[in-house]
């Protein structure tokens, strides 16, 4: 928000509605609008009955040492430093705009490389996972591979904080209750994204997601990345894994240069907000 001014109340605000595997976003091209909405407008837009509805909102801003800068907001108006599927959606939009095969996107987490993966798929390097407790952040120095929480979850940072549980059957978890209890756990001063993971094989998992500030989502790029990092660190999977989420399939590949995520995107419609 330091590069743009908030738009005047009631100003017409062009937006795009996009999704990655049902993880849906409102995307605002702040390079063209000359501003971005304030928190009250973001919350109004997020309402699925009286507004547009989204899991996250992404604002595209001019980039310094990158092709563009991205700022992400949860549906409650809070800021998130990372949003993997929204990054892929914006990357697809900017790749089509420029005709380039790859580009660099600056986020509050890192400068991310994005590329056209062919067959309509988009690949983004989400950067290195955060494996230091203070940077996740956690409230205290503790074993991140075995948190002292019932269910023995793993803590990981992907520009946002994650708590990953490994279970026998993800469908048996009542995520509506399980998610918010753990999102607000005192070990996570900035709240947690909560994942429940079922191991299918060393190369495949099933994932359900409770996203902080949003709730249950059909997919999440950063949660998929964090889950594969956690599973690989526990020795439960390899580092390249097929991730089955309710909205479809992502491929996560934890390489030496970061965690790469590949999957489809969709541009649903364009509109103008006049709230």
pTM beyond 0.85: the answer is yes
Q: Say yes or no to pLDDT of 51 above 60.
A: yes
6 is in an annotated binding site: no
Q: Render 65-118 in DSSP notation, one character per residue.
A: SSSEEEEEEETTS-EES--HHHHHHHHHHHHHHH--SEEEEE-SS-EEEEEEEE
Q: Are residues 45 and 98 in the same domain?
A: yes
> What per-residue confidence (pLDDT) applies to 13?
93
Closest CA to 273 of 77, 6, 14: 14
In a domain, 130, yes or no: no
Q: Are residues 240 and 163 in the same domain?
A: yes
Q: DSSP for 208-262?
A: EEEETTTEEES--HHHHHHHHHHHHHTTSS-SEEEEEETTEEEEEEEETTEEEEE
267 and 242 assigned to the same domain: no
Q: Is residue 139 part of a domain?
A: no
268 and 241 within one domain? no
- Does 233 show up as a binding residue in the annotation? no
85-125 residue pLDDT tens: 999 999 999 999 999 999 999 999 899 999 999 999 999 99
Phi-psi region of 145 (alpha: psi -120 to 50; beta: other; left: phi over 0): alpha
Q: Tens digit of pLDDT for each residue in 172-202?
A: 999 999 999 999 999 999 999 999 999 999 9
| Residue-level pLDDT at 190 | 96
Same domain, residue pair 117 and 70: yes
List the Cα angle 242/154/85 in 5-degree steps: 45
Assess if residue 107 is contained within a domain: yes
174-199 in b/e burial notation, b at 16+ Cβ within 10 A? Answer: ebeebbeebbebebbeebbbbbbbbb
Strands 193-201 and 204-211, bridge-based pairing? antiparallel
**pLDDT of 5 higher than 80:** no
**Mean pLDDT for all residues in the chain:** 94
Q: Say if 114 falls within a structural domain.
A: yes
pLDDT in tens, 59-87: 999 998 899 999 999 998 889 888 999 99
Report the CATH number that the domain containing residue 120 is assigned in CATH: 3.10.310.10
CB neighbourhood size of 136 (10 A) = 24
Same domain assignment for residues 76 and 174: no
Whether 90 is in a domain gets the answer: yes
Residues 162 and 250 occupy one common structural domain: yes
- pLDDT tens, 218-263? 999 999 999 999 999 999 999 999 999 999 999 999 999 999 999 9
**The predicted structure's pLDDT at residue 8:** 58
For residue 64, the model assigns a pLDDT of 86
Mean pLDDT computed over 8-37: 89
Is pLDDT above 90 for 3?
no
Q: Based on the fold, state whether residues 23 and 110 are members of the same structural domain.
A: yes
Q: How many CB atoms lie within 10 A of CB 38?
A: 13
Residue 65 annotated as binding site: no
Range of the domain at 163: 154-256
Q: Do residues 159 and 72 both lie within one domain?
A: no
Catalytic residues: 83
Confidence at 33, pLDDT banded by 50, 70, 90: confident
Does residue 16 carry a pLDDT above 50?
yes
- For the chain, what is the domain count? 2
The answer to whether position 246 is within a domain reads yes
Q: Which residue has the higher pLDDT, 262 or 10?
A: 262
Asked if residue 74 and residue 120 are part of one domain, the reply reads: yes
- Ligand-binding annotation for 85, yes or no, is yes
Question: Based on the domain organization, do 41 and 21 belong to the same domain?
Answer: yes
Answer whether residue 9 shows pLDDT above 70: no
Query: Does 131 map to a domain?
Result: no
222 has binding-site annotation? yes
194 & 251 share domain: yes
Question: Which of the four pLDDT bands, split at 50, 70 and 90, describes residue 6?
Answer: low
pLDDT tens digits along 121-160: 999 999 999 999 999 999 999 999 999 999 999 999 999 9
């Amino acid at each position: 928000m330091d590069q743009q001014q908030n738009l005047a109340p009631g100003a017409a605000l062009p937006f795009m509605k996009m999704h990655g595997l049902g993880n849906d976003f409102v995307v605002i091209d702040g390079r063209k609008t000359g501003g971005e909405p304030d928190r009250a407008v973001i919350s109004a837009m997020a309402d699925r009955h009286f507004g547009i509805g989204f899991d996250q909102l992404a604002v595209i801003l001019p980039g310094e040492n990158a092709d563009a800068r991205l700022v992400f907001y949860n549906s409650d108006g809070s800021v998130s430093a990372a949003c993997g599927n929204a990054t892929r959606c914006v990357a697809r939009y900017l790749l089509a705009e420029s005709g380039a095969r790859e580009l660099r996107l600056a986020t509050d987490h890192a400068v991310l490389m994005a590329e056209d993966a062919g067959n309509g798929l988009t690949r983004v390097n989400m950067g290195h996972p955060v494996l230091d407790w203070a940077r996740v952040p956690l409230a205290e120095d503790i074993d991140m591979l075995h948190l002292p929480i019932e269910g023995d979850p793993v803590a990981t940072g992907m520009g946002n904080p994650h708590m990953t549980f490994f279970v026998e059957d993800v469908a048996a978890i009542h995520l509506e209750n399980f998610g918010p209890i753990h999102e607000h756990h005192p070990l996570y001063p900035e709240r947690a994204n909560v994942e429940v993971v079922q191991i299918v094989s060393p190369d495949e998992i099933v994932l359900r997601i409770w996203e902080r500030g949003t709730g249950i989502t059909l997919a999440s790029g950063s949660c998929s990345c964090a889950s594969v990092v956690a599973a690989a660190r526990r020795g439960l999977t390899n580092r390249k894994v097929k991730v089955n989420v309710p909205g479809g399939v992502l491929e996560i590949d934890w390489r030496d240069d970061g965690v790469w995520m590949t999957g489809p995107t969709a541009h649903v419609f364009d509109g103008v907000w006049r709230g």
